Structure 1
Amino acid sequence: MRRRATARLSEAGVENAARDVELLLRWATGLDAPALVSRAGEAATAEARVRFESALSRREARAPVSHIVGGRAFWGRWFEVTPDVLDPRPESETLIAAALERAAGAAPPARVLDLGVGSGCLLGTVLAERREATGLGIDASRAALAVAARNMAALEIADRAEMRLGDWLDGLTEGFDMILCNPPYIARAEMDGLSPEVLEHEPRIALTPGGDGLDAYRRIAPDLACYLRRGGRALFEIGPDQAAQAATIFAAFGWPHPIVHRDMDGRDRCLEYRRKP
């Protein structure tokens, strides 16, 4: 069954077909990897076979695995994923690693803001790791906020995480010790080159603002100093070729010399700004 399923996905153009077959089998059977190996010679239940065939057909049509199984692991925790939110990506864990790193002389963040909260994977992870902190997630999509709220509840941090409909920093009246942001940053010219999993199944509003992809930084940079408290840090995910352009935007508003964090593939992935105490 594995060989046939892997061949089907490969023929459909799915990369890492064998890995996806493994994930879908585990989901369909409810078994973890060791249990699947130990029962390799046993026939799956009729219900599991039906679930697996349905999942395989959807994956063959290039639906993301996260949409089929209902979520994705991020920084060791499970987050619900729907077509209303961006699929959490391993590259975004670069932002988490930077956020959880203790900056020299900086106190633990008491108040965290996530701009464009989406699934809530960034805010939820930081609050789960920093039990003393509270947070606010902003998003322009009501549907995304609903997903984020469910994820906060699942992590048992809903009492420390508020979700609010909004447009970046507009209307905020308080300061924050940490600001996180993974905005839409894909340039319009790059959209047609995305995989069907992304282009056809993820919300366009979370992928691109159009143009050169830098509009979110242009919106946020002018007012960043109004909302980042002294001693605080702001972290922005960027495309791997956008560090210089994004940094120029922030520099024009008094934020020179960012710390640039690279992802697991060695690509620029996060700009960090620190406000002096």
Structure 2
Amino acid sequence: MADHLPAALGPLLRAARERLAAAGIADPALDSRLIVEHFSGTTRTQAIAEPGQQVASAALSVIETALRRRVAGEPVHRILGYREFYGLRLSLSPETLEPRPDTETLVDAVLPFARATAERLGECRLLDLGTGTGAIALALLHSIPQATATGVDISLDALATAVGNARNLGLGGRFKALHSNWFEKVSGSYHVIASNPPYISSRDIGNLQDEVRDFDPHQALDGGADGLDPYRVIAAEAAGFLETQGKVAVEIGHTQKNEVTGIFAAAGYRLAGAHSDLGGNDRVLVFER
């Protein structure tokens, strides 16, 4: 009940943190702060400067519900409905993967090439396969004013979310959503083809962390029997849509570097770059013809 929570901001934050800590949540201080600030419309500065500030009872009841969802294991950003990625706020929906910091590695990996292309040609065309929230495409568009992007997804819900994110970020005029199963409906040619495809093997889905298994869409996780099916499709078909000097960049599972490199090599590509994530794991491979 909402009346269990104190109405003053400082005690409210403390009570929320204690409740999440008692439930064994990994980062109770951060998650409680995100929930309280988001649903009470307050800031960290206010919590420090005016801990006695009263929070309206309507907000308390929403915070109560949010804390219960978090205690039940729902990821905090699903509860908030958005996630920060590359400094951009992206709305989530049930059929979008929650963008992870590891995927920022992919943006970092292609940004210098995409920027140089745009400076040389006055444009850079990007194709983001399995765009989800639009995270990869929108981070690149935000960084490169001359770039345009097509975000492809098999989920109409994900595409609607990506279009909304593009609009909210003022990038709607340079982002096009395309409902397609991989390259099926794609046309034109691109300087960069990027993808964070599903790469978990079907049998391993059940072993994922609860927060991923129970709340991320399985369609965005399941890469087939060995987790490599999407890479086979991309390697086999990308050449028909790639500009002469273009690059293909893919996120991978941290044990998949050799297999994915082999799949692309067999299709006539060479490895142009391999990038590690913040944890030092193999995370992104960049290929060229």
What is the TM-score with the length of structure 1 in the denominator? Answer: 0.93
Deviates more, 1:140-149 or 1:1-10: 1-10
Number of matched pairs = 275
The change in CA–CA distance for 1:86 and 1:69 in structure 2 (over 3 A counts) is: same
Q: Secondary structure at the match of 2:127?
A: strand
1:242 to 256, 261, 277: 256
Q: Secondary structure at the match of 1:231?
A: strand
TM superposition shift of 1:258:
3.8
1:54-73 equivalences in 2 (<5 Å): 54-73=65-84
Q: In the alignment, is residue 45 of structure 1 matched against residue 59 of structure 2? A: no
CA distance in 1, matches of 2:114, 2:86: 20
TM superposition shift of 1:196:
2.0
Q: In the alignment, is residue 76 of structure 1 matched against residue 87 of structure 2? A: yes
Match for residue 200 of structure 1? 214
1:186 to 185, 194, 200: 200
TM superposition shift of 1:102:
3.6
CA distance in 1, matches of 2:43, 2:240: 48
What is the TM-score with the length of structure 2 in the denominator? Answer: 0.89
The change in CA–CA distance for 1:138 and 1:103 in structure 2 (over 3 A counts) is: closer
Match for residue 164 of structure 2? 150
CA distance in 1, matches of 2:62, 2:115: 51
* Superposed structure 1 runs of 4+ greater than 6 Å apart: none
CA RMSD across the alignment: 1.8
1:132-143 equivalences in 2 (<5 Å): 132-143=146-157
Match for residue 129 of structure 2? 115
Match for residue 191 of structure 2? 177
Q: In the alignment, is residue 265 of structure 1 matched against residue 279 of structure 2? A: yes
CA distance in 1, matches of 2:278, 2:112: 16
Stretches of structure 1 that go unaligned for 5 or more consecutive residues are none
TM superposition shift of 1:103:
7.4
Contact 2:271–2:288 under 8 Å retained in 1: no
- Is the helix fraction higher in 1 or 2? 2
After superposition, give the CA deviation of every residue in 1:12-42 in whole Å (9 maximum; x if it has no partner).
Answer: 3421122101111111211222222212233
TM superposition shift of 1:198:
1.3
After superposition, give the CA deviation of every residue in 1:175-209 in whole Å (9 maximum; x if it has no partner).
Answer: 10111101000122332222222111111000113
CA distance in 2, matches of 1:135, 1:106: 14
CA distance in 2, matches of 1:173, 1:2: 51
After superposition, give the CA deviation of every residue in 1:90-130 in whole Å (9 maximum; x if it has no partner).
Answer: 00000111121247975555211000010101111111111
Q: Secondary structure at the match of 1:168?
A: coil
TM superposition shift of 1:6:
2.6
CA distance in 1, matches of 2:174, 2:114: 23
CA distance in 2, matches of 1:177, 1:261: 19
2:242 to 228, 234, 239: 228
1:34 to 9, 22, 45: 45
2:31 to 20, 23, 44: 20
After superposition, give the CA deviation of every residue in 1:58-107 in whole Å (9 maximum; x if it has no partner).
Answer: 11111121221110111111000111100010000001111212479755
CA distance in 2, matches of 1:82, 1:64: 13
CA distance in 1, matches of 2:159, 2:184: 17
1:6 to 6, 17, 25: 17
Match for residue 173 of structure 2? 159
TM superposition shift of 1:223:
1.7
CA distance in 2, matches of 1:162, 1:42: 45
Q: Secondary structure at the match of 1:257?
A: strand
